[in-house]
Structures are given as structure tokens and as C-alpha cells.
């Protein structure tokens, strides 16, 4: 293709656009359509019901508790992960012997899938066999079936989530810390700032764009992608205390075959995504140039 051909860039974009239109935009539009329909009693045809699916959803107190669970789970996991990652990252940028090896080990959960993370933590917490269960029993006298009792199931799911998400945040904080000029930290040391002050008054504010990025990414991960952890560890139980929005969507769509409600739920999740997108754009526009 010659450089002057006006067609070249379009041809280059065709493969990507075919895929995203068929497998992202079409399903998104289809979700919209489905959310206005309900299956008939015998499941043989769809009936247009307008906004019924949405009103059903929002008059159901159970759905509110699912939303609440999702948000509590997401915010607390994200908050803890970011905090822990920020603290550990301080250690990983010092030139300590073996740093490369430490990073290798600490980053490892990044490569492990949510489902496997869920399996590993189920095993650690399982009664009679689990090591962590044993430690909790010996140290704190907690003898419980972690995955089937409240509030332990919720804590168990959070532990796995934080463990899985931590490396991602660490990688970004380390990159960020390394980009802070040494001169800045040295001059603050001369001014008498101690370790703790340097960390929170200088480094943390300087890294706030990264914290913001991580918050958005982690929030999406916990809202949407931790399905594997929950499905393996608790299946949404006990008594729905670990049923997040995505898990309920899955149950309604594939266990109860309630397509209309599931579609309406995905629209609600789109809306949440839309808000996140807006917040992200609104803040990032100023600092990052895409074009």
C-alpha cells in the first residue's frame, strides 16, 4: 500500500472494529433490548414489558443489599490493597540486597487467576486441613467454617481479593516512586522531614495520579472481575452475604434463566461503569493527552 492511499488507515482498523462491534457493541445494544422484555411463562416467546424489569429490580429490597454488598466489598478491598501496596512499595524501591528476588515473589499473584486464587484461599481456610484456619484457631481461638459463616465468608473473599490485586498496585507504585527525583527527597531530609512525613506529605501527594488510576482500575476489578474468587469460595453465600452484582447477574441469567432481569442488571452495571468512565475522564483529561 502506498503512503498516499487514503484507504490504508481504514484497512488497518477494520479487524479491530469488526471484533469490537460484533462482540462488544452488539451485545451492549442487545442488553438494552433484552432489558425491556420478559420471557413468557413457557419460555417460548419474549413479551415487551417496558420498564418492568427495572421497577422489579428497584422495588426489590434484596437488590439493594446486593448493591450494598458489592460496594462495601469493593471499597474495603480497594482501600486496603492501595494502602498495603503503598507501604510495601516503599521497601521495594530501596536498594536492599535481594530486591529483585523479593519483587519476583511479591508480584507472583498477578499471574494467578482469580479462580485459582479463590481455590488457594479456600484451601488455606478450610476446616481440619487449612493452615490459616489452624493459625486462627491457635492464635485467636477462632474455630469456624470460614466459607460458610457470616461474617467470615466475606472476610475470606476479601483476603483472596487483596492478595490477588496487590501486585498490580505495587508495580505501579514502584514505577511511580522511582520517577520521583532524589533531589526532592534529599532536600526534605535536610529540612528535617522524617521517614513517615516524607512518605505521607511528599511521596503520597506526588503519587496521587497513580493512586487515582489504581482506585479506578481496582474498583472495576472488584466490581466485575472477581467473579472467579466468589464463585469458587462462597458461591455468593452464606445467605447472600457475598453475592455481588456480577454474581447475582450470573445467577439470574444462567441459573434461573431470568433474562429480562439479568439484562436490566447489566444496564445498571453499565451505568455504574459510565459514572466511573466519566470520573476518570474528567480527572485524567487535564494530565494525560491521548491525541
Partner 1 sequence: MASSISKRKKTNLILSEITLIIISLIIMAPVLLALSMSFMKPTEVYTFPPKLFPSSFHWQNYVEALQLVNLGRMLLNSAIVAFFITFGKLVTGTLAGYAFANFQFKGKNISFMILFITLFLPAETVMILPLFLIMKQFGWINTYYALIIPFTASATNAFLMRQHFLTIPKELSDAAKIDGATSMQYFWRILLPLSKSMLGGAALINFVYAWNLYLWPLIATMDDKMKTVQIGVKMLIDAEASNNWGTIMAGTMIALIPTLIIFFAIQNLFVKSLVSSGLKG
Q: Map the footprint of partner 1 across residues 98-127, applying CB under 8 A.
A: 98-99, 101-117, 119-124, 126
Stretch that binds partner 1, among 43-51, 58-66, 68-76, 227-235 (CB under 8 A): 227-235
Answer for the pair 156, 146: CB distance below 8 angstroms, yes or no.
yes
- Applying CB under 8 A, among 76, 144, 220, 283 the residue interacting with partner 1 is 220
| Contact positions with partner 1 (CB under 8 A) in 181-200 | none
Shortest CB 270 distance to partner 1, Å: 6
- Any contact of residue 28 with partner 1 (CB under 8 A)? yes
How is 8-63 classified by DSSP, letter by letter? HHHHHHHHHHHHHIIIIIHHHHHHHHHTTEEE-TTSSSEEE-TTHHHHHHHT-HHH
Whole-number Å distance between alpha carbons of 291 and 289: 6
Q: Which is nearer to partner 1, 22 or 68 (CB)?
A: 22
- Residues 139-168 as x/- pattern, contact with partner 1 by CB under 8 A: ------------------------x--x-x
CA distance 182 to 186: 6
Stretch that binds partner 1, among 47-55, 56-64, 67-75, 213-221 (CB under 8 A): 213-221
Element (H, E) at 124: helix 114-125
Long-range contacts formed by 90-99: CB under 8 A, 24+ apart: 90/177, 90/199, 90/203, 92/170, 92/174, 93/174, 93/177, 93/178
Task: Tell me the CA end-to-end span of the chain in Å, nearest whole number.
Answer: 25
Provide the 3-class DSSP secondary structure of residue 186: helix
249 binds partner 1 (CB under 8 A): yes
Per-residue contact flags (x/-) with partner 1 for residues 44 to 83, judged by CB under 8 A: ----------------------------------------
Closest CA to 74 of 202, 222, 260, 208: 222
Contact window for partner 1 (CB under 8 A) among 41-49, 149-157, 171-179, 197-205: 171-179
| Residue 217 binds partner 1 (CB under 8 A) | yes
Q: Does 291 bind partner 1 (CB under 8 A)?
A: yes
Residue 256 sits in the site that holds partner 1 (CB under 8 A): no
In the set 73, 74, 246, 248, which binds partner 1 (CB under 8 A)?
A: 246
Quick one: which of 231, 17, 240 has its CA closest to 117? 231
Q: Please give the Cα distance from 123 to 114 (Å, whole number).
A: 14
- Name which of 61 and 96 has its Cβ closer to partner 1: 96
Residue 10 makes contact with partner 1 by CB under 8 A: yes
Would the CA dihedral through 127, 232, 264, 284 be positive or negative?
positive
CB of 259 to partner 1, least distance (A): 6
Residue in 82, 92, 156, 158 binding partner 1, rule: CB under 8 A: 92
Residue 40 is a binding residue for partner 1 (CB under 8 A): no
Which CB sits closer to partner 1, 24 or 184? 24
Amino acid at each position: 500500500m502506498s503512503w498516499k492511499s487514503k484507504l490504508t488507515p481504514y484497512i488497518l482498523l477494520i479487524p479491530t472494529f469488526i471484533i469490537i462491534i460484533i462482540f462488544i457493541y452488539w451485545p451492549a445494544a442487545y442488553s438494552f433490548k433484552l432489558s425491556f422484555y420478559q420471557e413468557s411463562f413457557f419460555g417460548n416467546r419474549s413479551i415487551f414489558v417496558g420498564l418492568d424489569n427495572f421497577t422489579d429490580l428497584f422495588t426489590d429490597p434484596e437488590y439493594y443489599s446486593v448493591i450494598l454488598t458489592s460496594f462495601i466489598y469493593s471499597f474495603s478491598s480497594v482501600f486496603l490493597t492501595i494502602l498495603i501496596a503503598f507501604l510495601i512499595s516503599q521497601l521495594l524501591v530501596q536498594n536492599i540486597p535481594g530486591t529483585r528476588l523479593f519483587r519476583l515473589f511479591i508480584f507472583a499473584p498477578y499471574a494467578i487467576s482469580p479462580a485459582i486464587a479463590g481455590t488457594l484461599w479456600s484451601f488455606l481456610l478450610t476446616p481440619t486441613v487449612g493452615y490459616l484456619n489452624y493459625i486462627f484457631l491457635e492464635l485467636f481461638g477462632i474455630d469456624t467454617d470460614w466459607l460458610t459463616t457470616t461474617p467470615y465468608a466475606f472476610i475470606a473473599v476479601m483476603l483472596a481479593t487483596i492478595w490477588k490485586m496487590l501486585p498490580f498496585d505495587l508495580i505501579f507504585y514502584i514505577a511511580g516512586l522511582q520517577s520521583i527525583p532524589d533531589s526532592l527527597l534529599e532536600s526534605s531530609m535536610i529540612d528535617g522531614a522524617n521517614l513517615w512525613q516524607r512518605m505521607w506529605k511528599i511521596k503520597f501527594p506526588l503519587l496521587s495520579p497513580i493512586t487515582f488510576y489504581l482506585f479506578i482500575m481496582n474498583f472495576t476489578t472488584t466490581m466485575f472481575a472477581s467473579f472467579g474468587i466468589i464463585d469458587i469460595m462462597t458461591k455468593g453465600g452464606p445467605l447472600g452475604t457475598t453475592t455481588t452484582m456480577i454474581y447475582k447477574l450470573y445467577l439470574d441469567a444462567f441459573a434461573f434463566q431470568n433474562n429480562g432481569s439479568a439484562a436490566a442488571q447489566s444496564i445498571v452495571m453499565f451505568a455504574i461503569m459510565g459514572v466511573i468512565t466519566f470520573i476518570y475522564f474528567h480527572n485524567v483529561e487535564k494530565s494525560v493527552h491521548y491525541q
